[in-house]
Amino acid sequence: MAVSAPPVISATSSGAGVPGGLFRAEPLFMANNHGSGNTNTNECRMVDMHGVKVASFLMDGQELICLPQVFDLFLKHLVGGLHTVYTKLKRLDISPVVCTVEQVRILRGLGAIQPGVNRCKLITRKDFETLFIDCTNARPENLSSVLLLSPFPGFSCKCPLLKRNE
């Protein structure tokens, strides 16, 4: 009796023509919303952002992406940590949406967030682009190019990289 081999799916596969492909446009997971008027808040799709697939949910007609996932993929090398991102979000007047328990389970199942994480926030693509631009513009190319403004007369910086050329 001959057994057929399962199809090979690469990590960059689009899933086109392969049943159960790795990345696809239709919902990957859909949880039941018991008693909720909005039936599509737990439909998770993998969407393309800057050439990388990220998890997203459609809520109230807006596509919301997983903030910890895009932090890990795009921002962690630009800022000190996720706490810095939340501070930037406040300053930029961006209000992330808190995931439901079921959405967190779905994101964990997809590997978008770590297994031990029990809270997560979502932001729009537009808000992510605003945040990304802020993070890339806030980081100087060279520390010696940072200009220190003296908070009081007689202020001197002891760090040789940050001293002004006077």
Which tens digits make up the pLDDT trace of 32-71? 444 444 455 788 999 999 999 999 999 989 999 999 999 9
Tell me what pLDDT residue 10 has.
Answer: 38
CATH number of residue 133's parent domain: 3.10.260.20
SS (HEC) of the chain: CCCCCCCCCCCCCCCCCCCCCCCCCCCCECCCCCCCCCCCCCCEEEEEECCEEEEEEEECCEEEEEHHHHHHHHHCCCCCCHHHHHHHHHHCCCCCEECCHHHHHHHHHHCCCCCCCCCCEEEEHHHHHHHHHHHHHCCCCCHHHCCCCCCCCCCCCCCCCCCCCC
Whether 86 is in a domain gets the answer yes
User: Per-residue pLDDT for 124 more than 90?
Assistant: yes
Residue 14's pLDDT band (cuts 50, 70, 90): very low
Whether 50 is in a domain gets the answer yes
Tell me the pLDDT tens digit for each residue of 75-102. Answer: 999 998 989 999 999 999 999 999 999 9
pTM of the model: 0.62
Instruction: Give the count of domains, the chain.
Output: 1
Q: Calculate what percentage of the chain has a pLDDT beyond 90.
A: 50
Whether 68 is in a domain gets the answer yes
User: In Å, how far are 29, 55, 76, 107, 155 from 43, measured between CA atoms?
Assistant: 6, 10, 27, 11, 56
Whether 9 is in a domain gets the answer no
Whether 105 is in a domain gets the answer yes
Tell me what pLDDT residue 103 has.
Answer: 94
Tell me what pLDDT residue 138 has.
Answer: 72
Tell me the pLDDT tens digit for each residue of 113-123. Answer: 998 888 999 99
| Whole-angstrom distance, CA of residue 156 vs CA of residue 116 | 46
Whether 132 is in a domain gets the answer yes
How much is the mean pLDDT over the chain?
A: 74
Domain that holds residue 93: 45-137
